[in-house]
Amino acid sequence: MKDKGIGIVETKYFTFAEPGQELVLASGQRLGPITLAYETYGRLNKKKDNAILILHALSGDAHAAGFNQGDKKPGWWDNMIGPGRAFNTDKYFIVCSNVLGGCKGSTGPSSINPKTDKPYGLDFPIITISDMVNAQKKLMDYLGIKKLLSVTGGSMGGMQTLQWFKSYPWFLSSAIPIATALKHSPQQIAFDEVGRQAIMADPDWQKGDYYNKVKPERGLAVARMMGHITYMSDVSMEKKFSRRMKNKNYSYTFKTDFEVEGYLQYKGDSFVKRFDPNSYLYITKAMDYFDLSGKKLVAGADGNETRFMVIGFKSDWLYPLYQSREIVNQLKYRRVGVTYCEIPSTYGHDAFLLEVDEQTHLIKHFLSSVYRNEKDGK
């Protein structure tokens, strides 16, 4: 039978933290009510032991796989999720949740502040990766999941994966952090900060109070263009663009001469149509604050039986391999079971979205082994 993917899917919404039951954030502030957008693929079995939580990166959303009604493009990790795929929906129940602070159906700075009946803007509290995870835990409880077979994600999705282990170490049978880090280096913070400054420098930003007015599109586009450079590698850019030109000769103007310029402008322009500039600020800040370095990840993990598979990519210079190795070293330090896979990709950081075959091979076998192990243990 041909691999047909999972077809039409629908985004669902879960609301909690109603008045009086607000979520207490890392900052000490309280936030509620909170809605999380999420999607599920496959079926939760009777034992409820086949659930896998998939977590997205900076600009991702709950729509990881299949097609939303009317869409021409599938979800962001569709090539990894479906019948027979790495995350096999014939076997597993997959949940993907949009992050708190986002702009894709979950509560974030563009949501209505119940206290003012206007969008939060900068009145939205600063959120952290642990806040995101705490919100996801509420969703897991709501779905009746007592333990996750696995948690996984690339980039910021990997940070959430690590945070899940830190916050709820007994809730996971396994974890697959991909192309991620225990903390942002100053270089990673710096790229985030330049993106934020580009947005905040846009006069349309208006200290975050631009809803129902003009969106700071130019600032967000610049932030995204820069981001795109960091997601690719020198080699992958050379392969994709080299110095190919739009026209035969130099224009001797500031119009687009090189294909790579046009590509970045297109990526910047299309991003502003689908993303909220304030969410970009909040989510990058959450990433910069994230820090499970040193022994923080594994403190209290003695005797924990969660099994890890850490995946990194050779050409990823935004989240270099040494950061993956630091995760592995910390896990080994407390004898948490860990397999480490370096994939010799040339795609740079984007590899977690593009290296389908290698990741499928690794993840499929890892999950089978964890699943078999869990069943045998019961």
Site map (CB under 8 A) of a second copy, residues 64-103, x = contact: ----------------------------------------
What residues have CB less than 8 Å from 115, skipping those under 6 apart?
none
Q: Is 198 in the site for a second copy (CB under 8 A)?
A: yes
CA pair distance 82, 330, nearest whole angstrom: 33
Burial track 231-248 (b if 16+ CB lie within 10 A, e otherwise): bbbeebeeeebeeebeee
> Nearer to a second copy by C-beta: 257 or 305?
257
Catalytic residue from among 56, 173, 349, 350: 349
Read off φ and ψ for residue 174, nearest 5 degrees. -155, 165
Would residue 316 show up in a list of annotated catalytic residues for this protein? yes
CA pair distance 262, 36, nearest whole angstrom: 35
What residues have CB less than 8 Å from 100, skipping those under 6 apart?
31, 34, 36, 106, 107, 108, 127, 131, 132, 135
Residues 218-247 that bind a second copy (CB under 8 A): 218-219, 221-222, 225-226, 228-229, 232, 234, 237-238, 240-243
Would residue 228 show up in a list of annotated catalytic residues for this protein? no
Catalytic residue from among 131, 288, 316, 350: 316
Q: Quote the distance between the C-alpha of residue 186 and its chain's center.
A: 20
Q: Under rule CB under 8 A, how many of the chain's residues touch a second copy? A: 56
Work out which of 86, 281, 309, 363 binds a second copy, going by CB under 8 A: 281
From the CB of 281, what's the least distance to a second copy, in Å?
6
> Nearer to a second copy by C-beta: 82 or 312?
312
Would residue 71 show up in a list of annotated catalytic residues for this protein? no
Q: Which residues pair with 255 in a beta bridge?
A: none
Read off φ and ψ for residue 371, nearest 5 degrees. -65, -45
Q: Is 201 in the site for a second copy (CB under 8 A)?
A: yes
Between the alpha carbon of residue 145 and those of residues 13, 138, 166, 177, the distances in Å are: 17, 10, 18, 21
From the CB of 157, what's the least distance to a second copy, in Å?
21
> Nearer to a second copy by C-beta: 69 or 253?
253
Catalytic residue from among 111, 130, 155, 233: 155
> Nearer to a second copy by C-beta: 150 or 155?
155
Q: Any idea how long the chain is? A: 378
Q: Is 187 in the site for a second copy (CB under 8 A)?
A: yes
DSSP 30: E
Q: Is 377 left (phi over 0), alpha (psi -120 to 50) or beta?
A: alpha
Q: Which residues of this protein are in contact with a second copy, per CB under 8 A?
A: 27, 29, 122, 125-126, 183-187, 189-191, 193-194, 196-198, 200-203, 218-219, 221-222, 225-226, 228-229, 232, 234, 237-238, 240-243, 250, 252-254, 257-258, 260-261, 264-265, 268, 281, 285, 288-289, 291, 317, 320
